[in-house]
Amino acid sequence: MIATQNLTKEFAARVLFEGVTLQLNPGSRYGLVGANGSGKTTFMKMLCGDESISSGTVTIAKRARVGVLRQDRFLDDSEMILDLAMKGDLPVWQALSQQHLLEQGKITLDPAKMAELEDIIGANDGYTLEARSSRVLEGLGIPVPAHRQPLGTLSGGFKLRVLLAQVLVGGMDVLLLDEPTNHLDILTIRWLERFLATYDGCAVIISHDQRFLNNVTTHMLDVDYQTITQYTGNYLAFEKQKALVREQKELGIERAQEEIARKRAFVDRFGAKASKASQGQSRFKQIEKIEVEELVATSRRAPHLKFEAERPSGREVLELNGISKAYGEKKVLANVSMMVHRGERVAIIGANGLGKSTLLRIAVEKLGADIGQVKWGHGTKVGYFPQDHREVLDNPKQTSFEMLYELCPLESISFVRGQLGRVLFSGSDVEKRIDLLSGGEAARLIFARLTIEKPNVLVMDEPTNHLDMETIQALIDALKAYTGTIIFVSHDRFFVSELATHIIEITATGLKDFPGTYNEYLERCGDDHLDAEAVASKARKAKQEAQAAKAGAAPAASTLSWEEQKKQRARQNQLPKLRDKAVAGIEAVEVRKKDLQGIYAEPGFFERHTYADIAKFEAEQTALDKKLELLMTEWEQIESEIAAAAGA
């Protein structure tokens, strides 16, 4: 489907990657990972033709339709949301539009053109395009009543969902997705996972969400060591394989160096003796033949983050009383009250659209509440990390150096450069204008700003967005060591689990305030908002209950015929056995998947197996994924029937 041959990309004297030869096949989903700045997005742009190639080739199968999700693309706010989604299949949308104008009598077409339109629509299942587009929009969390509204009625995050819908609707043969989970809540991410699991084309996905990659990918493409290496399996399998390969290479180098040292020691000891001269020359030749591989340094880098409080705050840090906020007729927050004490790490969680970011912006006085009071405690100094970085990086023409130097004009130039270096800005990077920074660079610059400001309260809205794995871990470590108070919003379960000492969940019915860790919250409340499967299961249950309520009670057994009652009883008696069979099937598939991952991780796997063998393994893994999805659906249906029978 996609092939690269000796692909190389250079910027001036800097080599991002070179000699990259890959074969990306239909039915496979490739996670593209690497440090920020390593060249992931550049490689993606080279695949779709948006970026020039230094040398080598990219070949995509003829007539293959390519869908690209670009983070820097914008849509027209005046267009209808459903129309924008339907434009994902542009030839069909245009044909349908022409046909609609023809039916209204607004245009006239000759018979040949009319036949051509009908051929386009028929060949591409065009008459279902509107229904398919609506389903995708709904799956991405945009309700049906909004589909015929202008795009401008949506917030920025939901506009990106429409952009994603446009790519998914088109029935593309190739999907190139750059950070598709950005601005998605857990339930929508789960929908996207299921969508991609059944996608039979070739997908390349950039993401920093480890859980998403584990659930979606069949292969990983690692941008590191100035090349791109393909691994089979999901992110978890890739981590193990990469570490093992590196360990084996380092061990091979160590053994080669030891062998050279032994032979050199022989020469040094006996080389001067005439009786050993020929043996010494032999050792010299042997040393020359020993090849010691030169390992390229990894591009994986973690910033050195350290947050300090200039002074401690009072015991009571923040009090919110009766906060309410509405945007027009839409009520976002209603009578919200909470108290935060010194030293707490408060995680504010909840589904998208319930006002988490709004609450933070009201707290830091970036936005006014309609009703209610915000009261900061004695001696508080607040540092703010917004989801939209432009709220604090508000002078786009400044350079990174100028922005930081403005905060500490009495410090030396070397001090400011040192702070930038700690967050991985080096050389000419420090003179880069703020409006040219990537999302990850902007986030790291704000971390440097917070380091200089030394607040005793950190208010952070989705701080892990745009960060690579190494930076997320560095951020967690720095926040754990911080002695001040932290109030943060996040959808990242790992991040919340590692940090939070106080959980506040915003729900549609009000606040859940729990003074404890996220794991303790789960034990007490049992509502794992940040776990995709738990949320999806809860949503399915709610949908089933709503459908049952709408349809009314099922007919009582007495209203059924004797034959129908007999079939019903037989089915109910079979359910436990059917459930056990489905569970056994699920377990068997998962065991085989683990076995395959273990085989891939074995030392020398790729040397021992032919391409045909590897293709068989890949085909089996794809088949297992599809089988698991079917078994899970069957098991859920059986469990629903058992629950319904128990409640009857």
Q: Are residues 380 and 528 in the same domain?
A: yes
Residue 163 domain boundaries:
77-172
412 inside domain: yes
Beta-strand pair 55-60/2-11: antiparallel
Claim to verify: residue 458 and residue 599 sit in the same structural domain: no
Answer whether 310's CB lies under 8 Å from 381's CB. yes
Q: What is the mean pLDDT of the chain?
A: 84
* 367 found inside a domain: yes
Contact in structure between 482 and 344 (CB atoms under 8 Å)? no
Q: Is residue 206 part of a domain?
A: no
- Strand 371-376 and strand 345-349: the pairing is unpaired
Determine which of 219-228, 253-262, 460-469 has the lowest per-residue pLDDT on average: 253-262
Q: Specify whether the CB–CB gap between 380 and 318 falls below 8 A.
A: yes
Q: Tell me the pTM.
A: 0.66
Sheet of strand 316-327, all strands in order from the earlier edge strand to the far edge: 330-341, 316-327, 371-376
In sequence order, which residues have a C-beta less than 8 Å from that of residue 397 and are 6 or more positions away?
Answer: 433, 434, 435
Same-domain status, 528 and 618: no
CB 400 within 8 A of CB 425: yes
98-102, 192-196, 555-559: least confidently modelled range: 555-559
Q: Is 572 found in the same domain as 527?
A: no
Q: Look-up: residue for tokens 């969508």? A: 195
**Six token digits for residue 543:** 């949908």
Least confidently predicted of 248-257, 261-270, 570-579: 261-270
- Helix pair 129-139, 156-169: axis angle to 10 deg: 140
The predicted pLDDT at position 135 comes to 92
pLDDT band at 280; cut points 50, 70, 90: low
Structure tokens at 423: 């967050």
Torsion of CA 492, 498, 501, 504, to 10 degrees: 10
Q: Of 147, 172, 197, which one is at a domain's C-terminal end?
A: 172
The pair of structure tokens assigned to 582 is 């489905």
For residue 558, name the pLDDT band (cuts at 50, 70, 90). Answer: very low
How far apart are the C-alpha atoms of 644 and 648, rounded to whole Å? 6
- Cβ 217 vs Cβ 235: under 8 Å: yes
Q: Say whether both 528 and 571 belong to one domain.
A: no
Residue 603 lies in a domain: yes
**Tens-digit pLDDT profile for residues 459-511:** 999 999 888 888 999 999 999 999 999 999 998 878 998 999 999 998 888 88
Identify whether 217 is part of a domain: no
For position 288, what pLDDT does the model report? 67
Structure tokens at 78: 């005046």
Q: Give a yes or no: residue 616 inside a domain.
A: yes
- Please check whether residues 514 and 585 belong to one and the same domain: no
* Helix (H/G/I), strand (E/B), else coil: 203: strand
Element (H, E) at 443: helix 439-453
Q: Say if CB 203 and CB 213 are below 8 A apart.
A: no
353 and 484 in a single domain? The answer is: yes
Same-domain check for residues 423 and 561: no
Q: Give the total number of structural domains in the chain.
A: 3
What is the pairing mode between strands 2-11 and 14-24? antiparallel
Question: Residue 459 domain-assigned?
Answer: yes
| Same-domain check for residues 420 and 509 | yes
| pLDDT at 261 > cutoff 90 | no
The CATH number of the domain holding residue 562 is: 1.10.287
Q: Which of 533, 565, 592 is the last residue of a domain?
A: 533
Rounded Cα distance between 186 and 267, Å, is 66
Nearest Cα residue to 464 out of 497, 498, 436, 492: 492
Residues 519, 417: one domain? yes
* Domain closes at, from 120, 139, 172: 172
Q: What is the pLDDT of residues 372-391, one digit of tens each?
A: 999 999 999 999 999 989 89
Cα distance between residue 42 and residue 559, in whole Å: 66
Write the CATH number for 346: 3.40.50.300
pLDDT above 60 for 569: yes
Residues 394 and 363 in one domain: yes
Same domain? For 475 and 591 the reply is no
Instruction: Name the 3-class secondary structure at 396.
Output: coil
Does residue 65 form part of some domain? no
Spatial separation of the C-alpha atoms in residues 286 and 264, rounded to whole Å: 10
d(CA 407, CA 489): 26
Q: Give 393-433 pLDDT, tens digit per residue.
A: 989 999 999 999 999 999 999 999 999 999 999 888 899 99
Helix (H) or strand (E) holding 487: strand 485-489
pLDDT digits (tens, 9 = 90+) for 83-109: 999 999 999 999 999 988 888 888 888
| Pairwise CA distance, residues 51 & 75, whole Å | 22
